[in-house]
């Protein structure tokens, strides 16, 4: 019986070895599957990072352009302010030099011109649009000189 017992031990050992190898193969398959998923996740993350980098570069360029445009607008605004101040000084100097011009400048605006400058208190773009849409034509002054 010893040969039979040895054969049974051999088969049992062989079966245990087969089960061990099969279990290890299952673990290897699971690990390979996980590695593939991780590789796909890494590729997806890399693509997202590249896309984000392109977006950041685009936004950075746009920001630089906007800042340059704002700087240009500020310098134009400063030039316009200087020109306006110069014109106002010139007008004041002319008013002081010329009595007729000073009398003309001191007169109140005509009614038609005053109505053009009248504006109600507006709150928001919609109110301004409604005010512009609802305005009628400027009426002529009532007391017109005879022609």
- Would you say residue 26 has pLDDT above 70? yes
Q: How far is CA 20 from CA 15, 56, 82, in A?
A: 8, 53, 91
pLDDT of residue 101: 76
Q: Look at residue 125 in the predicted model and tell me its pLDDT.
A: 85
- pLDDT for res 143: 60
Is the CB of residue 94 less than 8 Å from the CB of residue 101? yes
What whole-number distance in Å separates Cα of residue 27 and Cα of residue 35? 12
pLDDT at 135: 64
The pTM of this model reads 0.44
- The rounded distance, in Å, linking the Cα atoms of 137 and 107 is 25
d(CA 74, CA 59): 22
What is the rounded average pLDDT of the residues 42-71?
96
Token duo for residue 146: 């005879």
Give me the mean pLDDT over the 31-44 stretch: 94
pLDDT for residue 107: 85
């Amino acid at each position: 019986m010893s040969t039979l017992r040895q054969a049974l031990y051999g088969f049992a050992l062989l079966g245990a070895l087969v089960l061990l190898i099969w279990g290890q193969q299952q673990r290897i398959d699971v690990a390979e599957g996980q590695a593939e998923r991780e590789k796909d996740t890494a590729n997806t993350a890399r693509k997202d990072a590249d896309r984000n980098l392109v977006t950041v570069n685009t936004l950075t360029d746009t920001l630089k352009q906007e800042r340059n445009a704002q700087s240009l607008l500020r310098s134009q605004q400063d030039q316009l302010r200087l020109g306006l101040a110069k014109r106002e000084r010139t007008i004041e100097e002319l008013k002081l030099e010329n009595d007729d011009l000073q009398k003309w400048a001191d007169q109140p605006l005509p009614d038609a011109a005053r109505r053009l400058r009248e504006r109600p208190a507006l709150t928001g773009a919609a109110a301004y649009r409604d005010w512009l849409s609802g305005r009628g034509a400027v009426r002529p002054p009532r007391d017109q000189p005879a022609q």
